[in-house]
Amino acid sequence: MRRKVASNLLWMLADRGLQVIVGIGVVAMLARALGTEGFAHFQYAQSLVFIAASIPLICSAEVVVPRLVARPDREASHALLAHAFAIRMTAALAGYVLMCAYLAFTQQPADTWIPAAILCTAIMLREPFGVVIAWMQARTHNRPNVAFNLLALAAKAALIGALFVAGVNLVPAYATAFAIEPLIAAALLAWYYLSRAPRTVPSRDAALTRDLVRDGALFWISFMLMVCARRADQLILKPLVPLADLGAYAATMQVLDNFTTVATILAAGIAPIYVFGQQSMGAARRNVLRITGGMAAVGLCGALLLAVSAERVVALLYGQAFGETVVLLRLAALASTLVFADVALSLLPVYLRKPRWVAMKWALVLVTTVVVDLIAVPHLGTRGAVLGYAVGNAVALFFGLVLALRSQPATAVASA
């Protein structure tokens, strides 16, 4: 069993690592093809879509996977997945409509709303069809999903590469290439599951629907708050700074998103044995604090290296047009060290099954980020947004430390 779990985890980590590597190359081509202003429009559209994509997660894997494990019967699992799919698809349609309403209300230019409308089709594909991924996770068999992701990723990268080589500099064209990836992945997931699923159509169960929505609501709120906290800066910046400055800031955040993904990968590899596998809360808490120290050290070393080589990184990825990104990247890289420590501390509320703590943390981070940005951005521009990023990360870290240090280790807790 341990070998099966380890193999499954390695496949998941390999999938994530390859996505990061290919993503860096894709972003480099985008920035060079679109320039600072076109890149700003594209990244702003992606931020809107990223927020809208949190709406379909009302019935997340944290709710679906444990139920699938507890209900291994094929018919029961099939009914559960059908209801989760219906909930997510309904929420995805609502998310698409809300995003379009926001675009109309704020009177965004065509360079923003056209790519946003194209990119947002992904939310009707990723999360609804993602119930199949939850089914695979419950069976500890993620290898097919990794293969499907890599095929879809390769198709997207090839199409973007073709557009780049052809000299295309139209934002909607690249948005269409991005939309190809979730379409291919959704089609492959649907084929894989339907070829193995019962042929019956489950009857509608209102009680099951209510349970899934109720149990997933807190996880959903937590995730939406986190997404808003991570993307509010670009929404605040757009009307207050020139598009070229927004493009430079978006490029900075793109590099940091890929860098801080290392923290998530490390946590995913360490947590199952050293945190979730502990029967004693005291042992789990001690390990979380040790992991926090180690990951903070890794983050600091990586941040210093990124700050020192910022000029070469920006020149390699984005070109000379993104000169302002160098200064922003050096400032923000040091603040990203806090993310590594925060990701480690977040393992404790997951172990204790306390999503309320996570929701409280991200609500506090969101409020802090918005307040700091609204005060600092009008005076400091994009550097004010970097300040908001740093202060928000500091608040998240402080909140996590307080919870970890105040948790009482005397009570034995079952492994999450």
- Residue pair 384/392 in contact by the 8 Å Cβ criterion: no
Question: Per-residue pLDDT for 276 more than 80?
Answer: no
Q: Which of 23, 27, 17 is nearest to 251 (CA)?
A: 27
The per-residue pLDDT for range 313-360, each reduced to its tens digit, is 888 888 777 888 899 999 999 999 999 999 999 888 877 778 788 889
C-alpha closest to that of 148 among 173, 177, 118, 182 = 182
Give mean pLDDT, residues 207-222.
84
Q: What are phi and psi of 353, to 5 degrees?
A: 55, 55
pLDDT greater than 80 at residue 289? yes
Query: In terms of Cα–Cα distance, which of 172, 176, 171 is closest to 159?
Result: 176
Q: Is the predicted pLDDT of residue 101 greater than 70, yes or no?
A: yes
Range 269-289 average pLDDT: 77
Q: Exposed/middle/buried for 38, CB within 10 Å: 0-12, 13-18, 19+? A: buried
Answer yes or no: are the C-beta atoms of 10 and 141 closer than 8 Å: no
Q: Dmax of the chain from CA atoms?
A: 64
| pTM exceeds 0.95 for this model | no
Q: So what's the pLDDT on residue 62?
A: 72
- For residues 136, 138, 139 and 144, what is the CA-based torsion angle, rounded to 10 degrees? 10
Q: With a cut of 70, say whether residue 3 has pLDDT above it.
A: no
Over the stretch 60-93, which tens digit does the pLDDT of each residue have?
877 887 788 777 788 888 899 999 999 999 999 9
Residue position matching structure tokens 């604090």: 289
What does the pLDDT look like over 353-396, one tens digit per residue? 787 888 899 999 999 999 999 999 999 999 999 999 999 999 99
DSSP 234: H
Domain spans of the chain, in order of start: 1-204, 233-416
Q: Give DSSP secondary structure letters for 17-82.
A: HHHHHHHHHHHHHHHHHHHHHHHHHHHHHHHHHHHHTTGGGGG-HHHHHHHHHH---HHHHHHHHH
- What pLDDT is attached to residue 121? 92
CB 129 within 8 A of CB 185: yes
- Rounded to the nearest 10 degrees, the angle between the axes of helix 143-165 and helix 131-138 is 140
pLDDT in tens, 124-158: 998 899 899 888 877 777 778 888 988 998 999 99
Predicted confidence (pLDDT) at residue 258 exceeds the cutoff of 60: yes
Residue of 14, 35, 25 whose CA lies nearest to 254? 25
Q: What is the model's pLDDT at position 185?
A: 93
The mean of the pLDDT values for the chain is 85
Whole-angstrom CA distances from 402 to 69, 210, 337, 345, 388 are 33, 34, 18, 10, 21
Please give the single-letter amino acid code of residue 103: L
d(CA 202, CA 33): 48
